[in-house]
Structure 1
Amino acid sequence: MATIIDGRKISSDIKVEIKAEVDALKNKGKRAPHLAIIIVGDDGASHTYVGGKIKACAAVGFEYTLMQFAESISEEKLLKHVHNMNTDEDIDGFIVQLPLPAHISVDRVTESISSEKDVDGFANENFGSITSNYPLLMPATPLGVMELLKRYEIETEGKNCVIVGASRLVGAPLALMLSKEGNATVTLCNKHTENLASHTKQADILVSAVGLPGLITKDMVKEGAVVIDVGTTRVKDDTKKTGFKLSGDVVYDDVAPLASFITPVPGGVGPMTIASLMINTLRAAQKNLL
């Protein structure tokens, strides 16, 4: 049976480490790092995620500002708020919670965020720096995956890593990070990939980041593989108080007996995304507070 990669524990460890660094800053007479969060509309999942980020800020000693806007806000008005965040010297980093309403361009908004404050790591400059010798603020979820691999001492060098899902948020940047930092051989699969199982069965490290429950079955996984499930989908479940449960891409109960390591959903990669956001905010603040 696989060793469970406990994202909640690693995330908690990281928060303790960050809090120690924040305390050290304060002891030197510096202010605490400051994260701002912009959320538009009333999407329940988004408000849950934002609540988790605020809770994390409190745990590590960050200041935070939450700005909530109606779904009807115009793109131009939202961009003005983004500009104000870019120029506010008391804000070290900020995020615009996705998804945004259909009338607002996600690309236009994320690209208007200053790369120095882009703690989600979405901006082109930060994305492009993955392949440089001087990486900037890294995309949060891939950074979280890399941190899990490091802290569980999972070797990546020379390994066959297969990533299912080539999104700009997870799959594409993670492929670059595993190749550049991890010295791995990476195969990046997308929705056009033919005979997906022929690729996944070659993986020493298999990452699925699609958001399609049940996509990865046991017949697609090599015995002894490390399985990282980034997919998180709300599935209707009347037995839960919330009315839904979170489901990953991997059929966990079937795949876990085959794998050497596996991340659960929830409790695997999810908490690491927030931990990475805290890491990036601290890094941005440290540059500002020199």
Structure 2
Amino acid sequence: MGAKLLDGERVAAEVRAEVRDRVERLRAAGVRVGLGAILVGDDPASARYVEMKARDCASVEIASRVVRLGPDASQADVLAAVESLNADPEVSAFIVQLPLPRHLDPDAVLWAIDPAKDADGLHPVNLGELALGRPRVVACTPAGIVELLHRHGIVLDGAHLVVVGRGLTIGRPLSILASLPRAGLNAAVTVVHSRVRDLASIVRSADIVVAAAGSPGLVTGAMVRPGAVVVGAGTSFEGRRLLSDLADDVADVAAWVTPRIGGVGPMTRAMLLVNTVEAAERRAGRSEP
């Protein structure tokens, strides 16, 4: 393995320490910070993820509230839970854990969230603000990827970034965020997917590759230009084993690469805390310098 690791665990710990300082300043001003979550059904992966978020909250002294609904919860039940967190002054921001059971309409649920309390950054209003070039709440994984690159000294400005995947949670918002004409961003972005003809040649042209298709081993070492930066953001499971969109041999070619575990995942959770504390700051009329 020749590549250096993009250490998401280390950077996430730095971000959590900064969040903790902001929480303490808010508490000194009489403002409490709380993160809510709505968990519907009995999917083990979703339950584990919500538990991890609760532990993250405890580590930075953010209060955590989880609303649990059974797998047979109706659309009205879920919308009522959303409204309860919208109205709860102790909840600065919250998420609805996805995926929802198949009988529910996730779009209607996302629309029901107060955009100011949208911790995931997936509300259509917040995605629209991002598309208009004035991001307020940014989806956690794209924000985490950008932060991970910044803190390893990797320059986006003027770089060719290829995003493999066009999903709502990573590919689409990342492509907009990275291309914004702002300091630290301003990349030339190409968005592709697994069915694009000659995918390998497009990926090989990139300075930075983000694989976010959820297709195990999709991006191989032969597809990567030597010295490129490669981020594995798409994951899937084989039993309980977490699989990356990156083949193992990518590390033999790239200059920087994320590890299979400890790369993007910790950054996603860290940025959820950032979105939560920023929601509390906005509500209190304070902004972080």
| Pair 1:65 & 2:65 matched | yes
Assess if the C-alpha contact under 8 Å between 1:32 and 1:61 holds in 2: no
2:139 corresponding residue in structure 1: 139
1:278 is matched with which residue: 273, 276, 285? Answer: 273
CA RMSD, 1 decimal: 1.1
1:158 corresponding residue in structure 2: 158
2:198 corresponding residue in structure 1: 195
| Pair 1:95 & 2:95 matched | yes
Tell me the amino acid that sits aligned with residue 134 of structure 1.
Answer: R
1:48 corresponding residue in structure 2: 48
Distance of 1:280 and 1:59 partners within structure 2 = 16
**Alignment deviations for residues 209-263 of structure 1 (CA, whole Å, 9 cap, x no partner):** 0111111111111000000000121223xxxxxxx221110013x1112111111
Question: What are the within-5 Å matches in structure 2 for residues 252-263 of structure 1?
Answer: 252=248, 254-263=249-258
Distance of 2:134 and 2:235 partners within structure 1 = 31
1:239 corresponding residue in structure 2: none
Distance of 1:134 and 1:281 partners within structure 2 = 18
State the TM-score, normalized to the length of structure 2. Answer: 0.94
Distance of 1:148 and 1:83 partners within structure 2 = 34
What count of residue pairs does the alignment treat as equivalent? 281
1:288 corresponding residue in structure 2: 283
Partner of 2:225: helix, strand, or coil? coil
State the TM-score, normalized to the length of structure 1. Answer: 0.94
Assess if the C-alpha contact under 8 Å between 2:179 and 2:187 holds in 1: yes
Question: What are the within-5 Å matches in structure 2 for residues 1-290 of structure 1?
Answer: 1-28=2-29, 30-132=30-132, 134-180=134-180, 181=182, 182-236=185-239, 244-252=240-248, 254-290=249-285
Assess if the C-alpha contact under 8 Å between 1:34 and 1:93 holds in 2: yes
Shift of 1:59: 0.4
User: 5+ residue gaps in structure 2?
Assistant: none
Tell me the amino acid that sits aligned with residue 251 of structure 1.
Answer: A
Shift of 1:133: 5.0
Identity of matched residues, %: 38
Tell me the amino acid that sits aligned with residue 4 of structure 1.
Answer: L
Distance of 1:27 and 1:84 partners within structure 2 = 27
Assess if the C-alpha contact under 8 Å between 1:166 and 1:190 holds in 2: yes
Assess if the C-alpha contact under 8 Å between 1:247 and 1:266 holds in 2: no
Shift of 1:191: 3.9
Tell me the amino acid that sits aligned with residue 26 of structure 1.
Answer: R
Distance of 1:128 and 1:278 partners within structure 2 = 22
Shift of 1:131: 3.8
Shift of 1:81: 1.3
User: 5+ residue gaps in structure 1?
Assistant: 237-243
1:241 corresponding residue in structure 2: none
Distance of 1:31 and 1:173 partners within structure 2 = 31
Shift of 1:31: 3.0
Distance of 1:148 and 1:184 partners within structure 2 = 15
Distance of 2:195 and 2:247 partners within structure 1 = 22
